[in-house]
Chain A
Amino acid sequence: MDKNEERDILRIENLNVRFETEDGVVHAVNGIDMKLGYRKTLGLVGETGAGKTTTALAMLRLVPNPPGVVECDRLEIDGQDVRGMSASKLEQVRGKEISMIFQDPMTALNPVFTVGEQIAESIEIHEHLSKEKALEKAGDMLELVGIPRQRANEYPHQFSGGMKQRVVIAIALACNPKLLIADEPTTALDVTIQAQVLELMNELKEKYDTSMIMITHDLGIVAEVCDDVAVMYAGRIVEQGSLEEVYGKTMHPYTEGLFNSLPNIKNRQAMLKPIHGLMPDPTNLPEGCAFAPRCNYATEECKKACPALRNVGGTHMVACVRYEKDPNFMIDRRKQNG
């Protein structure tokens, strides 16, 4: 193994996930490559149905089968091949090496156990500590996320939404995972609480040297917590790169469309420029670029073949035919940003 590869916590090559249902085959994820360095945070951005959550579940091997079928050439977490892992080995990896925070804190906690017990449970399993020691550590974890340790004996319904999400974060971080996958962790929360939770996650990430994948539809959150960004559309990554590259030198028309759909807080007169049309039906993806039917820059060329993700300098990758044909091609956002 060469040194370069060792530095990645996560390596995925050619990940495909499809769901075989009665109504047809849903192509949820179509050939995704992903690489995440230690202590890095990747923002996985896209709309409903883009395949963000499915990608994350595939990393944890949590895609239900049937109907889900996962295929990939490589899936390594911290240098370990996860693909052929036995169920018991997998359980060790989940929680200890990689753990996940789900969107809804209301359903992620078991209502019949105290929050202390729930945090202690995963510590007990993964760190082989006695019950008392685990509960002790659970108290530490609660303090870490800003909840007084006396509240460890309370039940989830006694906590507010923001507090519950803190508990969920405490559970996810209890065993110092090397990789944390957060699936829309703040969508169910109010803005002021969201700000606090994001801040907390930023702090903890630094403290524990955790790498993170932040799944979100909110470009503002990405700007706040992520180093790298991958934009997904119809199960593919259409643009990828560092935050500076994707936000500062946006290249893909879909990414531009996302930015244009957001109200500009500094200029309230600015008209919104929504992306017209709808996301394609994942059972029946178009032959060429999946975004072509909604794209203002689309040409005949775009409808023919699906563009591959190509490097355009630095770590910046984009999947758009127009750049292949014309190196000087520019989308409007680029022209404005100079």
Chain B
Amino acid sequence: MADSKEMQLRASKLYKKRSSFEMVWRQLRRNKGALLGLALLIIIIIGALIAPIVYDYDTDVIGMNVRERMQWPSARHICGTDDLGRDIFARIVYGARYSLAVGFVAVIIALIIGTALGAAAGYIGGVFENIVMRVCDIFSSIPSVLMAIAVVSALGKSTANLMLAVGIASTAPFVRVARAAVLVVRGEEYVEAARAIGQPDWKIVIVHILPNCLSQIIVQATLRVGSAIISAAQLSFLGLGVPAPAPEWGSMLSSGRLYIRDYSYMTLFPGIAIMITVLSLNLLGDGLRDALDPKLKR
């Protein structure tokens, strides 16, 4: 008897467990834009990962080479060289490390703070919700670059502070999205069922509510990485971001702007790099939103 029970248990485990990842992938596969975005993003990430293997930071990326300065794109330097004779392509590839890192870390900071606050506001409600949302309104009424400038000025110039600054500046949208999602899920009967079986509130939020809001938060995060990269580039452009001579795209633009009349390629290529990265993230984000939104499912 016990044996047969165990057999049944084992047999039932063989029944295919379909993951939600598979279902999202099936939806995403149909969306050509999202696939393009994903492909570009993977190429950029791979480039950023292998950059230190291909290029030597000290000689290829920040090492000056006055003899080859200001060269237009050629077979030797496919994106040309800058005013200090550094290969722009090498700097762009290496720069992807900074941009992606700043973008992702900033968004993760924003996501953690924003989701926690938003979820708590949505679940608890009342005065707490009011305070959080009004603070959120105030934050959103200040331009995010301005806010980031304020944070960097207060904390000092460094890559870590840049991440923190951009992160704080992009928190408000996460609070909003998380709160809205929690408000919807909170009204579902399975949340009531969880209370009926005696689950404490904090556990309900973690076990039932957040997993069901996750898709909306992930979409928001993907779309936000793009704008975080732009914010970081803007700050670097203003000289408040990653300190020179690190090859950050924003600071490359900034240094290239002096020569924009005669050597436009110096600003063109970093600009294109920013554009492609942000575009790929937005394409992917839009695709994910369509794939994860149950209302659009056929």
Contact = CB atoms under 8 A, between A and B. Distances in A.
Query: Is A in direct contact with B (CB under 8 Å) within the complex?
Result: yes
Interface string A17-54: 00001100000000000000000000000000000000
3 contacts: A21-B298, A22-B298, A67-B298
A21 B298 CA distance: 8
B273 to A, nearest CB: 37
Contacts of B298: 21-22, 67
Interface class of chain A by DSSP: loop
B25 to A, nearest CB: 14
B224 to A, nearest CB: 31
Nearest to A21: B298
B294 to A, nearest CB: 16
A316 to B, nearest CB: 40
Task: Give the bracket for the number of chain B residues in contact with chain A.
Answer: under 10
Question: 3 closest pairs, A vs B, by CB?
Answer: A21-B298, A67-B298, A22-B298
A85 B298 CA distance: 28
B7 to A, nearest CB: 26
Interface class of chain B by DSSP: loop
Nearest to A66: B298
A22 B298 CA distance: 9
Nearest to B27: A22
Nearest to A67: B298
Contacts of A21: 298
Contacts of A67: 298
Nearest to B30: A22
A21 B30 CA distance: 13
Interface string B270-298: 00000000000000000000000000001
A57 B251 CA distance: 61
Interface in A49-101: 67
B24 to A, nearest CB: 15
Interface string A185-210: 00000000000000000000000000
B23 to A, nearest CB: 12
A47 B45 CA distance: 53
B32 to A, nearest CB: 16
Nearest to A23: B298
A19 B237 CA distance: 55
Nearest to A19: B298
A21 to B, nearest CB: 6
Nearest to B298: A21
A161 to B, nearest CB: 20
A240 B298 CA distance: 33
A201 to B, nearest CB: 33
